[in-house]
Amino acid sequence: MNDIFTARGSMLIAGVTVNGSTVDIAIDEEGMIAGIGKDARKTIDADIIIDGSDRVAIPGLVNTHTHAAMTLLRGYADDMPLAEWLSEKIWPLEAHLSGDDVYWGTKLACLEMIKSGTVAFNDMYFFMERAADAVDEMGLRATLAYGFIDLGMEEKRAAEIKATEALVAHVKARKNPRIQAAVGPHSVYTVSPEGLSWCAEFAEEQGIAVHVHLSETEKEVTDCVAEFGKRPAVHLDECGCLTPRTVAAHCCWLDEAECRLLGERGVSASHNPASNMKLAVNRAMPYHWLKASGANVCLGTDGCASNNSLDLLEEMKFAALLQKFAWNSQTLLPAGEAVAMATSAGARALGTGPGTLTAGAPADIVLLDARAACNIPLHNTDSNTVYACNGGAVMTVLCQGRVLMHERTVPGEEEIVREAAAAAQALVGRAREA
């Protein structure tokens, strides 16, 4: 079975269930889906055959907002309001982070994501060159942004600009087609208008994404109105940060006009329901307004200190339930739309392909256990995927035709778990001594 992780060549997933039909999925040597259907096995001479009986195939999941290395902070500070949680617990601990911490924290995040069917993620954190090492080795896709925070200080801004430029140059020089750089202005409450404008211009010049937090709490909105005389989305827009390359995380407190603005600018809005509920931000993303505006609504987990896991199968359920509950509508965000948020919308946000199981798409494929209780009976794949299954049902994961997990085995798992646990313990120890 070990060969399957290193094998390169054409591949056939034989007799797998896709949307209720039994089909073959043929994958070419470039890792693209060559054909899908009853006769797809004829399109290639497969070097490797994966038995798809007892498996349900869905497109690989895309996590459009996380802070991957925050796996090391899992369970470190829970059950607190956002502002206090960040300033009293999270930021003081993050001040002690090292590059090695980010490497092992990101490796653990990648492991957890692969185990729950995620093939691509949008990350904002620190020491991102080391995050790139982790992603490189784990084989999934990532868009990596340095978390730009200037707190209105000119000196700090110069340092953040340097760090951002260095990361972008580093990622470009790596030439790994699975890894992209983005610019990551943290939010309107941590980045000055000058900083936001620089981020927008630099991203435009480089042709790369902008990854930002937007309207997470009511306080963010009232503080922004008090300081700048406008709401956060309008402020971001005036600084040039709202573009079709922008992923705005949370979007909980947007008003209807701001939702229209995001739609007009072609922004991707990343819904993070578990984090929003845990931090009691007290308003769910207005999905109905964003959908009507034409914004690209996608899904994220946020970091492991506010979720506290990276399981997009769970997150789809949280999204579908939270929207219904918060907006008092049983028909809002049905299962099929929740799956699209986590697949095609996510892929569009990160530019990683169509995010569908179709010929010509990258072979980013998740095989779920059709024999798991959550898939019995299989009246409707979308329904079981969103409402019944969690990451534990994921058996095999492919990214660009490469097998990242097979029959729940991920190469190197033991070392990652051991090293990440040690790094987390040492990090907390350093913070205590300080």
Considering only residues 355 through 414, tell me which ones interact with ligand 5AD, judged by CB under 6 A: none
Residue 302 binds to Zn ion (criterion: CB under 5 A): yes
Looking at beta carbons only, is 215 or 306 nearer to ligand 5AD? 306
Residue 232 interacts with, from Zn ion, ligand 5AD, none (CB under 5-8 Å by kind)? none
Cα separations in angstroms, 77 against 35, 171, 308, 335, 387: 48, 32, 10, 32, 29
288 labeled binding residue: no
The neighbouring-strand residues paired with 268 are 247, 296
Buried b / exposed e along 172-208 (16+ C-beta atoms within 10 A): eebeeebbbbbbbbbbbbbbbeebbbbbbebbeebeb
**DSSP string covering 230-289:** S-HHHHHHHTT--STTEEEEE--S--HHHHHHHHHHT-EEEE-HHHHHHTT-S----HHH
In angstroms, give the least distance from the CB of 413 to ligand 5AD.
Answer: 26
Q: What character string, x for contact with ligand 5AD (CB under 6 A) and - otherwise, covers 300-339?
A: --xx--x---------------------------------
Q: Which has the closest alpha carbon to 192: 145, 160, 144, 222?
A: 160
Residue 213 binds to ligand 5AD (criterion: CB under 6 A): yes
Looking at beta carbons only, is 302 or 369 nearer to Zn ion? 302
Residue 216 binds to ligand 5AD (criterion: CB under 6 A): yes
369 labeled binding residue: no
Residue 82 in contact with residue 217, Cβ under 8 Å? yes
271 labeled binding residue: no
Looking at beta carbons only, is 179 or 191 nearer to ligand 5AD? 191
Residue with tokens 């054409």: 10
In angstroms, give the least distance from the CB of 124 to ligand 5AD.
Answer: 5
In angstroms, give the least distance from the CB of 61 to ligand 5AD.
Answer: 20
**DSSP string covering 360-407:** TSB--EEEEETTSGGGSS-S-HHHIIIII--GGGEEEEEETTEEEEBT
In angstroms, give the least distance from the CB of 389 to Zn ion.
Answer: 25
- Considering only CA atoms, give the Rg of the chain: 21
User: Coil, strand or helix: which one is 58?
Assistant: strand
Residue 125 binds to ligand 5AD (criterion: CB under 6 A): yes
65 labeled binding residue: yes
Residue numbers belonging to the annotated binding site for substrate: 94, 157, 186, 216, 302
Residue numbers belonging to the annotated binding site: 65, 67, 94, 157, 186, 213, 216, 302
Binding site for ligand 5AD (CB under 6 A): 67, 86, 90-91, 94, 124-125, 147, 186, 213, 216, 275, 302-303, 306
